[in-house]
Structure formats: C-alpha cells, structure tokens
Structure 1
Amino acid sequence: MYKQSSGAARIAWTLLATAAFAVAGHSEAAAVATAPKAEVMHWWTSSSESAAVRKFAEAYRAAGGVWGDTAIAGADQAKAVAINRIVGGNAPTAAQFNTTKQFRDLIDQGSLNNVDDIAIRDRWDQLMPAPILDVIKVKGHFYAVPVDIHMSTWIWYSKAAFKKAGIVKEPATPDELFAALDKLKAAGLVGLAHGGQPWQENILFQAMLANVGGKELYLQVLRDRSPKAINSEAFKKVLLAFKRLQTYVDAGSPNRNWNDATAMLINGRAGVQIMGDWAKGEFAAAKQSAGKDFGCIAGLGPNVPYLIQGDAFVFPKTNNPDAVRAQKLLATTMLAPTAQLEFNKLKGALPILSNVDASTMDLCAQAGMAIMKDKTRAVGMIEVFLTPDQNGALQDVLTTFWNTRMPVEKAQKSIASALQD
C-alpha cells in the first residue's frame, strides 16, 4: 500500500533526485563535449546531392560524432573558400575536392594530414582504381579520402523524347548518335540539353575525344600533351564533332545549370544530355527509373575509355588530437559499406571500394561496375592529367571555339599552346 512520505523524507528525496539529475546532465554534457566534432565543407547543394550527403552525416552521428555542415554552392567557389581558410589558419575539419590535381599544391605545401593508417587497413591499393590512386597517393602517402567513382561522359536520353522522335534503337556509334539528334530536332524537340558553361563544354569535348578519337588519342592529347597528336587529322575530326553538337542546343543554353539541363530530359522537352553520372541523382529525385523513363550509354562502342574521377575529402593539417580523431572517424564512416551504398545510390556514382556489394544498385550503376572490371577501360578524366592552370587554359579555348567561328585549325594550335608546361 502506498504511503505518503513525511516532509523531511520528501525534502531528502528531492535533494537526492536533484543531485542525480545534475550528475546525469553533467555526464551527458561531457559526452557531447568530447564527441568528435567535424566541420565538413562541400558543394553538394542540389536536391539529390543534399540527400546524398545527409547519409554521410547520419553515419557520422551514428558513430558518435557531431557533424557540422558547411555547404557552399558551386565547386569552384567552395574550393576557393577551403583553400583560403586553410592558408589563413582557420581550416575546416574536412574539405571536398575532386580526385584530381586540385589539391596537389596543398600536399606540396605540407598543409594536409595523411590518412595512411586507414588506407593500409582498408587495402586501398588493392581495392581502388589506378586513376584515383594516382592522384591521392603522393610520395607513398595517402592525402585524400575518395568517396565515389564518377564517370564524366555518360550519354543520357529520354525514353519519351526518343519515342516521339521515332528513334527505336539506342545509338551505338557516334554516327548513330548524330542521326538520333537529327531526328529529335526534326520532331521539334531540343536535341542536346546543355548548360553553356565552360566546365560543361569541357565534358562535351571529353566525350567526343573518347568516343570519336578513342583511348590512344585521348591519352596522347591529355596525358602526353603531344603537339603531333593535337595537330593531327584525327584530332581535327574530334573538334569538328564537338562543334557539331552545338547545332542541337537551344537558345536558352548559355549559363544554364547542369541539373536544369537534366530537367529538360525529365520533362521530355529534350532528348539527350552528355553529363557525369551525378545526373542520375536528379532522375532519382524525380522518381524516374533507368531503363523505363531514361536510358544511359557509357560509351559509343565496346572499347571506349571509361573516364573516371570522383569526389574526395582532404583533411587540413592539425596536431589537435580531437580534430585528428574527428578526421579519422570521418574517413572511417564515409568508407563503411552501408554508408557507401546509401550515399552513392542517391549521388548516382559507384562505390569507391571494389569489394562493396553493389548488386542492389540501378542498371546504369551495374553497367558501370561491369566496365570497371576491365581495368584497361578505366582512364582518368581530363583534370587527372592537367593542372588547374592547364585545364583553365584549355576550357578558354574550347568555350571560344564553341561560341565563335574560330577555324578548327586555330583551335588545334591554341590547344597545343594551352597544354604546354
């Protein structure tokens, strides 16, 4: 039977409970104070990208960390802010870059912590593709944590637009692609959904170099920067194919964002887009399915190089043990199999480690995984071979060639000049 406590007893119980709550509150506050806190700087701001990066944030929090999200629209802007903060002594815990030479200066300046212990533990040398390893591993040390594999030059097409234009067969050669674009244009549709921005024109150029020129010419031009190859008839054919693509874009193309171009396929207004596989995230966000609503072509031929790069996080130099602990926890959680699958399904990319089971991913991802098994097909995209300055100079030439009546021979000479050291 319940018996009411006396006044003294009630006071004693109140004091005891207050003390207990104080101890519990102090313990909880202490736990929060000692949890690894990470400010993660990135440029993932589109709807699909935001959904994807939340998976990393959730994994980090589940592992006991505190995720601080610093999203900056625009890759170039985000990288510039990250570099300025690192140089200025106010670095974030982690900063996003692409798996290219973008962060090589930071390595050379001793501004980054390495992640050798995690790379060795997780067997990166055996499980990551060579073009990725070539840029993250410098003088025997690993300086970035790649989180995905993107292929830059997928050819996406709208099933509804193809049906309206009477295209019954998926293009399998460059000639068949141009024939399909002609049919789309004749049907009153936009043949090529494109955003007139230098980096997007760079992607179109890479696509034509890979699909029209082939692997050997691709490497001669970008890796070797051979003047002979650049001034060849074969390369002239590539440039003319690149320029021909402009005849299929609409008047609203200049300065259009890439995801707005993807939306033109989603709503059936345009037929084709040449863009990296991050575009697939926009289809997913619109509840469209690969093979049903849209198609994906990795290459116009069985031996076309599969041009890869991806996203990676670098960890600015610090000796603060709490910051280092946060960096290592980030590296571990981002590469965990579940986080890799959930992130890359939304991002549209492939998992970075080849031992992650990707059997539940969509058919475009499955096609990419199958191609990656042939290690001769995986080739670095343009920025894997070029410095930021060289890439910028090349983009200037390509954009001028795209938007003016520059003779193709002058474009060849200008590209040869732009790619020299």
Structure 2
Amino acid sequence: MNQATIAAAIAAAAAVALALALPGGAAPTAAPATPDAKGGAAPLKATVSHWWTSGGESAAIRQFADAYTRAGGQWIDQAVAGADQSRASTINRIVGGNAPVAAQFNTSKQFRDIVDQGLLNNLDEVAAKGNWDAILPQTIIDAIRIDGHYYAAPVDIHMPAWFFYSKAAFAKAGITGEPKTWEEFIAQLDRLKKAGLIPLAFGGQVWQEKILFDAVFALAGGADLYLRIYRDRDARAVQSAAFRDVLVKFRSLRAYTDAGAPGRNWNDATALVVSGRAGVQIMGDWAKGEFTSAGQVAGREFGCFPGFGAKAPYIVAGDAFVFPKTSRPQVVKAQQLLATVMTAPGPQVEFSVRKGSIPIRPDVDMSRLDLCARTGIAIMQDRTRQLANAEMLLDPDLNGALQDVLTNYWNRNETPEFAQQAFAQAMKDYAW
C-alpha cells in the first residue's frame, strides 16, 4: 500500500472516525480495571499489532507483554510478518473500524498521514508524566512530536549501519583488527574471500539494499553530503562527484556477496555470520538479537563496530507504537498503560537486551547491556555524531522511490551517472 493509497483510504474513513480528545490523566503503573462478571478486576485488554517475528524479536517483545500483564493488562499479540505488510494491515484496520489498541511503526514519517487525519490519540499526558521532553534524544522527539503533541511511544533506538563480524571467520582469514578506513575494510573483504568464506552476508531485498546504501553514504560520503541530499534536497549535491563516488563504493560491495543473497531474509544473512560461514554483515543492531539467541556474546564469538574511526556518523533510527483514536474509556486506559510500560526503565532494559537496540532513555541499568549497546549509548552522548535516518528526513513515497532507484542500480548493469539522474528525477517528482 503506497502513501497515496493510504492517504485516500484515510480521507475516506476520516468522516466516520471517532474524534473525541484523549481524556486527561496518564495511567499509573498498575492501572485500575473494570470489575468482571464475578466481581474481580478484569485486565485491560490490548491488541498489539507488530512485525517482530524472528527469534530475537519475539523474545524481545515478550518483555513488553509480560510487563504489561504484571501492570494489570492483558496483551493480545497480533504479529504480521513483514514491516510493510504490518503497517498496511494497521491502516486497513483503522479505515475499516477494527483498529488495534496499539500498532508498530518505525520512528519516522510513516504515521504522519494518520496524525494529520486525526486518527490517533496523542500521548501528551503520558509524555509529561514520563518527562519525555528531558529524557528523549532530540532526533527521536522530532519524529514523534507533531504540531506540539506526542503521537507515538518510542520503544528503542536502533542504528542501522552496524558492522557485525565473526571472530572465527576473521581468524581463519588472518584478520587481527577492525578496519579504520573504507580501504582497510575492502582489503579485509578480499582476505575473507581468499579464505573461501562469504565476505559480506547480505539479503537482496529492497529495504536491505537501502540500509546498505545509507551505511555507505554516511560513512564514505560523510554527514554533510548525506544531509544536503536527504534533508535539503540539494540537486547539485546529487550530481556531484562525491555522490557518484558513494554510488560506486556501494555497488562495489556486490562482488563480496554470495549467489544465494537475492531474496534472503536479514536474519538468515545474520545466521551466516553466527555460523562463521560469512565474515561481516552490515545491518541494524537488531541483528544482535540473533547472536544473543544463538548463545553468542559480543566481544567473544562476534565483534561489532559502528563505522570507521572515532567520529563516524551514528545513524539514529528506531521503532514506536501509535494508538488509534477511540472514545472507549477502557481502551484509552489500555493505551496509556501500554505507553507507560513500554517506555519505563525496567522493560526498556529487558527489551533492549534481547532486541539488540539501546534504550530510549539514559536513566537505566547499563550493566545488563552488552559491549555493542554500551558503545552505542556512549556515542549517543555526542550529539555531533547523531545523524537522523533517511525515513526521518524523507516522506515515505520519496523514500520508496529512492529505494527503487537503488535496487535497480544494485541489480542491473546501470552506470553511476544513470543512477544519479534517476535519483535526481525521483527527488524532483516527489518534491514538496
């Protein structure tokens, strides 16, 4: 479902959408519940739509479900495999009058249309009691606070450009340290290939290709060029020699993938690194959850680094839950309780340990987090290294159009110059 279709569907449904404002008062940790038929307290039921279905993801979201149950709720899991499919399902259910109590989106502009149509409850009361203004990074606030109101509960901070590597594979290839430059990285891929290993574990899906490109873009092109193009829509920057060099470096990595890469799921690519069959995967830190599920420990069986050198840009991304508009008091209470539980320090740590992300807040117990997470938390303290991910800067339609340009370039025999022109045309077609 593309953004134009979503907007049309939302507009058609807006006339019948419930428009009552969110009642005041955020739910306490243990929410009051309506008495059931036997006089006991009935739990606050919450249908929760999300796309976390892999082993590490499932273990992570169970932490929220268990915490919600302990707080007096009843979590009804409604997982839909695939992020695009899950979001489309949510939109269809909102339009059809069968909305879930809460639904997952990325921390991005993906839910802007349903905010604009008045189809979400805001979380201002929960945010005020949770002191979100003070504890959340500005990059996250900018994505979830719209026209002065909070419309999503952020649940994690992900960095989509981590490098995960198998220590066994590196040892087999005679590699003794992490690369400090792009050139060193390419040299290490060559050594892995010579050792008979898959140098770069990769899943040839459109969104994975975009993640790989943005990693190369931020690291090889630099934050300034990245922002000039994604944030400022600078047409001259798209046509620059520096951007051409980014495109060349991006597609050069294709030679280090294996024949089985096209169509491979991201977690299957991670499994290649976990097993030592592949050397490196460039993927979001959610991949770390797969290592954890396999009993591997960062710094022991696998290593991780977020880029080359001490000042590499740190791309900020994440996930958030939105809460469809309703006037039913028990559903509103369930929404407030969910938002409170998901953003609380304890569940944040338990979730992050299993998901591979870092918590949205700094006031948590860091001792349970691994080497990679602690590295990410330390980097996040340096605001100059924080770089908003493309979905925070681009409307979904434009982001999708650029994904199409990049997947064509990755998979076809196109020149970098042709890709530059296609990139520029997409930005022109979807200009504000």
TM range (shorter): over 0.9
CA distance in 2 between partners of 1:83 and 1:354 (Å): 33
Structure 1 position 40 matched with structure 2 position 28: no
Question: Which residue of structure 2 lines up, in the alignment, with residue 384 of structure 1?
Answer: 392
Shift in CA distance, 128/187, structure 1 to aligned 2, threshold 3 Å: same
How far 1:301 sits from its partner (Å)? Answer: 2.1
Structure 1 residue 31 and structure 2 residue 40: aligned? Answer: yes
Change in Cα spacing, 1:317 to 1:27, as seen in structure 2 (3 Å) is closer
2:95 matched residue in structure 1: 87
- Which residue of structure 2 aligns with residue 328 of structure 1? 336
Secondary structure of the corresponding residue to residue 351 of structure 2: helix
Please say which structure displays the higher CA radius of gyration: 1
Q: What stretches of structure 2 of length at least 5 have no aligned partner?
A: 1-34
Q: 1:207 aligns with which of 208, 215, 228?
A: 215
Deviation at 1:221, TM superposition (A): 1.3
TM-score, structure 2 normalization: 0.90
Partner of residue 153 from structure 1, selected from 161, 183, 186: 161
Q: Letter of the aligned partner of 2:172 in structure 1?
A: K
The aligned length equals 395
Q: Which amino acid aligns with 2:202?
A: H
Output one character per residue of 1:370-420: Cα deviation in whole Å (capped at 9) or x when no partner. Answer: 100001111111111111110110011100100111010010111111123
Report the alpha carbon displacement of residue 323 of structure 1 after superposing the two structures with TM: 0.4
1:281 matched residue in structure 2: 289
Find the partner of 1:247 among 255, 279, 282. 255
Mapped to 2, the partners of 1:411 and 1:355 lie a distance apart of 45
- What CA distance in whole angstroms lies between the structure 1 residues aligned with 2:38 and 2:312? 56
CA RMSD of aligned residues (A): 1.1
Gapped runs of 5+ residues in structure 1? 1-25
CA distance in 1, matches of 2:341, 2:148: 23
Of 418, 426, 429, 1:410 maps to: 418
SS at match of 1:147: strand
Separation (CA, whole Å) in 1 of partners of 2:46 and 2:84 = 22
Q: Give the counterpart of 1:130 among 122, 131, 138.
A: 138
Aligned partner of 2:104 in structure 1 is: 96
SS in 1 for 2:362: coil
- Paired residues of 1:113 and 1:317 also in contact (CA < 8 A): yes
Correspondence list, 1:9-408, <5 A: 29-32=38-41, 34-408=42-416
Kindly indicate whether the alpha-carbon contact (under 8 Å) linking 1:185 and 1:248 is maintained by their aligned counterparts in 2.
yes
Say if 1:351 and 1:358, in contact at 8 Å, map to a contact too.
no
Contact 1:211–1:301, Cα closer than 8 Å, also in 2: no
Q: CA deviation at 1:360?
A: 2.3
Maintained 8 Å contact 1:225/1:416: no
Q: Which AA in structure 1 matches 2:82? A: G
Q: Give the C-alpha shift of residue 35 in structure 1.
A: 2.2
Give per-residue Cα distances to partners, 1:186-235, cap 9 Å, x unaligned. 11111100000010000110111111011101111111121111111111
Specify the code of the residue in structure 1 equivalent to 2:128.
I
Question: What is the CA-CA distance between 1:80 and the residue it aligns to?
Answer: 0.3
The separation in 2 between residues aligned to 1:175 and 1:127, in whole angstroms, is 38
Q: CA deviation at 1:127?
A: 1.1
Range with greater deviation from structure 2 (217-226 or 145-154)? 217-226
Contact 2:161 2:315 in 1 (8 A): yes
Q: State the alpha-carbon separation in 2 of the partners of residues 51 and 386 from structure 1.
A: 31
Cα drift, residue 335 of structure 1: 1.3
Report the alpha carbon displacement of residue 118 of structure 1 after superposing the two structures with TM.
Answer: 1.0
Query: Aligned partners of 1:258 and 1:27: how far apart in 2?
Result: 44
Q: By how many angstroms is 1:72 displaced? A: 0.6
| Rounded Cα–Cα distance in structure 2 between residues aligned with 1:57 and 1:194 | 31
- 1:338, CA displacement in angstroms? 1.1
The amino acid of 1:374's aligned partner reads D
Q: What is the rounded CA distance, in whole Å, between the counterparts of 1:125 and 1:74 in structure 2?
A: 31
Write the distance in 2 (CA, Å) between the matches of 1:412 and 1:136. 32
Kept in 1, the 8 Å contact 2:126–2:339? The answer is yes
Mark the CA change 1:27 to 1:92 in structure 2 (over 3 Å): closer, same or farther.
Answer: closer
Q: Structure 2: how far apart are the matches of 1:31 and 1:393?
A: 53
Counterpart-to-counterpart distance in 2, 1:133 and 1:374: 17
User: Residue type of the partner of 1:158?
Assistant: S
Residues 79-100 of structure 1: CA distance to partner in whole angstroms, max 9, x if unpaired? 0000100111110000000000
Name the TM-score, length of structure 1 as normaliser. Answer: 0.92
Q: Distance in 1 between matches of 2:36 and 2:156?
A: 38
TM-superposed deviation, 1:28: 7.7
Give the conservation status (yes or no) of the 8 Å contact 2:270–2:281.
yes
Percent identical? 57
**Is this contact kept in 1: 2:353–2:368, CA < 8 A?**
no
Asked if the contact 2:64/2:347 (under 8 Å) is kept, the reply is: yes
Q: Do the aligned partners of 2:48 and 2:75 also contact (CA within 8 Å) in 1?
A: yes
* 8 Å CA contact 1:125, 1:133 repeated in 2: yes
* AA partner of residue 121 (structure 2): N
